Chains A and B, each alone.
Chain A
Amino acid sequence: MCGITGICHISGPGSVSPDVLKRMTGELSHRGPDGAGIYLDDRVGLGHARLSIIDLSGGAQPIHNEDDTLWIVFNGEIFNYPELRQDLAQRGHRFYTQTDTEVILHLYEDRGAACLDELNGQFAFAIWDVKRKELFLARDRVGILPLHYAVRGDAFIFASEIKALFAVPGMERAIDPVAMEQIFTFWTTLPGKTAFKNIREVPAGHFLKVSNGNVRLQRYWDLPFSPPEEQTAVSAGQLCSELSELITDAVRIRLRADVPVGCYLSGGLDSSGITTIVRTRFNNNLRTFGIRFEERAFDESEHQQYMAAALRTAHTDVFAANAAIGASLGDVLWHCEKPILRTAPAPLYLLSRTVRQHDFKVVLTGEGADEVFGGYNIFREAKIRRFWARQPQSKSRPLLIRKLYPYIFDGDRRAGHFVRTFFGFGLSDTDNPFYSHVVRWNNTGKAKTFFSEGLRQAIGDYSCYDDLREQLPESFGRWDYLAKAQYLETALFMSTYLLSSQGDRMAMAHGIEIRPPYLDHRILEFTGRVPSKLKIKGLNEKHILKEVFRGRVPERILMRPKHPYRAPIRESLLMHMGAAIGDYLSSGSLRDAGLFDPSKTALLINKLQKSQHASEVDNMALAGILSSQMIYDRFVRASFPRGGLPAAPNLVIDRRTVPVS
């Protein structure tokens, strides 16, 4: 995988400073430590930081076509590139490398933006068309890889990560109040937005064209859910066998690499399934990696070790002690680039460091299965709430919810009496498009009580619910409860948070590429038509995936209740950050950033220090306030461009007619 950067003058020729381009690319050296390259002409500059995985010796970028009229910088993997290449070669295209990068370029040459329909992969790339004077940027269907941009005057500036945009002198660096409102509701920003004013991301499944003085953004793919009447009528047995073949093939093509590929193994069904396929079908010497936690409530190592032993993989685990989670938070946020209401990214940061220490660059992960096959509690919660809403006075129906959240009600089962009021929020409003998520979002929103008066005023009457409602697909209203909930969870939370803050960003912090086979678009297009009752059968989640793996993955793993991946917040942050937390949360620092109310924050910290038990909202508020303060400190208060090393490119293509420097 890699990092990409670039600057393009939107309406006509203009100079691009090679120094700025090198500095931007240098900010991405963690993504691409194996080399760098730049391209410059009288209108455009492209930069690339390389992590070599395919064609180790010959794959330096930017890469060009036969007559040097198209230039590409590419971050990601096209897993079906050998097949595509064969077709292109038959149509007369000539290749000078063995890379997937060059395949994209020739496919684009033939088909333009429609080339995206044929790519099976995870990607963010930019192609400069010298003849048409057009820059083409695209991001993969679900947003596995990042791509950000900003427009300053006549310059369109893009980069894999925001820190590279901030390496451009004079770039505005300010926290966006609207983003705060979104994060403190959805746990993340809405697609297209970032935590910073005037810094955008190319949303998943979109491409963007810059030419003739215009910047045009267009969607080319969306999550393909069907209304019930259009769902498949094929038998469950037949669906399982087709799905099984698809998953196996998704794994097979994701093992394509010129370096060894390992697996993340958590001890849950999803990663156990992937690991089983790799181990039994493709690789006898598989290496697996997993996380252990200090606290039992979070730890899955017993199941992890059981799976590693059952599959005889060489397994390495990293111990995510509370202290290590707290200590890594600053670096974690440097890579997340947005405030977080959880600490769950931190253990993944520690994990990728371990993977790197073992000389691996690529791992397969089980990411996406819960979204695709209906694994999350929030889906079952929606089902129970609808069931309950039909008999609102029932005493037994709301109690079904307690089964879903033993980690909230455990130890203090007495709190169960309040289930009715808590999960009854908006109970009768079953037509609300956000019915599945209102309880969570409403609960999260309570942490906004800590917003400063200034932040509240800046947010004004902006409604993030209205904003989201306008982004829903046209047919959304005709879908069933599960498809709606899956869409919200996938388009919002997975694409803009999980795949970045708990995915690419944590892995790429140490130059590790993650490949999630369940997010192969063929699987998404297949499961979009699978009836909901086969995904959640009764209250049994991921039913169809369990059927696919029945007989192959041990019953013990197959029948385990779903264990959500979480990490401790109060215990990691308050107990182990010592003086640092005081610096970030002092009334002076809080006033300086202007985001939170200092006296309310002091009461929260005082309460958390004294009490034995922190509520979900208090935990979220602590993580949210502290991470926002750290983001402010590292990205807004700090001075940019930083003193870091600019990239020292080993490939420079300088086609400027009037070289300046």
Chain B
Amino acid sequence: MQADAVKNFIIENFLYGEDGRLRDDTSFLGSSIIDSTGVLELVGFLERNYQITIDDDEMVPENLDSLNNIAQFLKRKLNGQQPR
């Protein structure tokens, strides 16, 4: 469910409905789907949607650069674990 919400957000806001090029391991930055300001939109969405706060130090590609990375990151955040 979580992953779907994120995926839909990415498709609607960054791919404008074109979902063909998005796989779970597609790098958003590497494939030019999201630029540096787009990251802020993504963070804003995650914070609103999941009622979490994302620290500056967490805003790194390892946490946010693909659907897989986000899913892992969210899992850790929502389970109250110390994120990487």
Give A residues with C-beta under 8 Å from B: 408-409, 412-415, 417-419, 421-422, 442-443, 446, 449-450, 597, 599-601, 603-604, 607, 611, 613, 615-617
Choose one: A417, A422, A449; the contact of B35 (CB below 8 Å).
A422
Nearest A residue (CB) for B63: A417
- B37 near A603 with CB under 8 A, answer no
Q: What 0/1 readout, one digit per residue, does chain B (1-19) give for beta carbons within 8 Å of chain A?
A: 0000000000011011110
The answer for the CA separation of A415 and B43 in the assembled complex, in Å, is 10
User: Which of B13, B37, B56, B60 is most buried by chain A, counting CB atoms within 10 A of its CB?
Assistant: B37
Given A417-B60, A613-B41, residue A603 in contact with residue B36 (CB < 8 A):
no
- B13 near A415 with CB under 8 A, answer no
- B18 near A600 with CB under 8 A, answer yes
CB distance from A596 to the nearest CB of B (A): 11
Q: Which of B1-54 contact A (CB under 8 A)?
A: 12-13, 15-18, 29-30, 32, 35-41, 43
- Chain A residues with Cβ below 8 Å from B16 are 449-450, 597, 599-601, 603-604
Q: Does B83 contact A (CB under 8 A)?
A: no
The answer for the CA separation of A335 and B12 in the assembled complex, in Å, is 35
User: Which of A413, A442, A615 is most buried by chain B, counting CB atoms within 10 A of its CB?
Assistant: A615
Give B residues with C-beta under 8 Å from A: 12-13, 15-18, 29-30, 32, 35-41, 43, 56, 59-61, 65
* Interface of chain A, main secondary structure: helix
- Chain A residues with Cβ below 8 Å from B30 are 421
- B15 near A412 with CB under 8 A, answer no
User: Which of B16, B41, B43 is most buried by chain A, counting CB atoms within 10 A of its CB?
Assistant: B16
- A616 near B17 with CB under 8 A, answer no
Nearest A residue (CB) for B30: A421
CB distance from A603 to the nearest CB of B (A): 5
Could you name 18 residue pairs across A and B whose Cβ atoms are closer than 8 Å? A414-B43, A414-B56, A415-B36, A415-B40, A417-B39, A417-B59, A418-B36, A418-B59, A418-B61, A442-B32, A443-B32, A443-B35, A449-B16, A603-B13, A604-B16, A607-B13, A615-B41, A616-B37
CB distance from A605 to the nearest CB of B (A): 10
The answer for the CA separation of A419 and B35 in the assembled complex, in Å, is 9
- Chain A residues with Cβ below 8 Å from B15 are 449
- Chain B residues with Cβ below 8 Å from A600 are 16-18
The answer for the CA separation of A415 and B17 in the assembled complex, in Å, is 25
- Chain B residues with Cβ below 8 Å from A418 are 29, 36, 39, 59, 61
Given contacts A443-B32, A599-B16, 12 further A-B contacts (CB under 8 A): A414-B59, A415-B59, A417-B60, A418-B29, A418-B36, A418-B59, A419-B36, A421-B30, A449-B15, A615-B38, A615-B41, A617-B35
8 closest A-B pairs (Cβ-Cβ)?
A600-B16, A421-B29, A615-B37, A418-B36, A603-B16, A422-B36, A415-B36, A414-B56
CB distance from B73 to the nearest CB of A (A): 14
CB distance from A598 to the nearest CB of B (A): 11
- B59 near A446 with CB under 8 A, answer no
- A603 near B35 with CB under 8 A, answer no
- A412 near B40 with CB under 8 A, answer yes
- Chain B residues with Cβ below 8 Å from A414 are 40, 43, 56, 59
- Chain B residues with Cβ below 8 Å from A408 are 36-37
- A613 near B37 with CB under 8 A, answer yes
CB distance from A333 to the nearest CB of B (A): 24
Nearest B residue (CB) for A606: B12
Given A417-B59, A421-B30, A603-B12, residue A615 in contact with residue B35 (CB < 8 A):
yes
The answer for the CA separation of A568 and B72 in the assembled complex, in Å, is 38
The answer for the CA separation of A613 and B43 in the assembled complex, in Å, is 13
The answer for the CA separation of A43 and B46 in the assembled complex, in Å, is 70
Nearest B residue (CB) for A601: B16
Given A450-B16, A600-B16, A603-B16, residue A415 in contact with residue B32 (CB < 8 A):
no
CB distance from B39 to the nearest CB of A (A): 5
- Chain A residues with Cβ below 8 Å from B12 are 603, 607
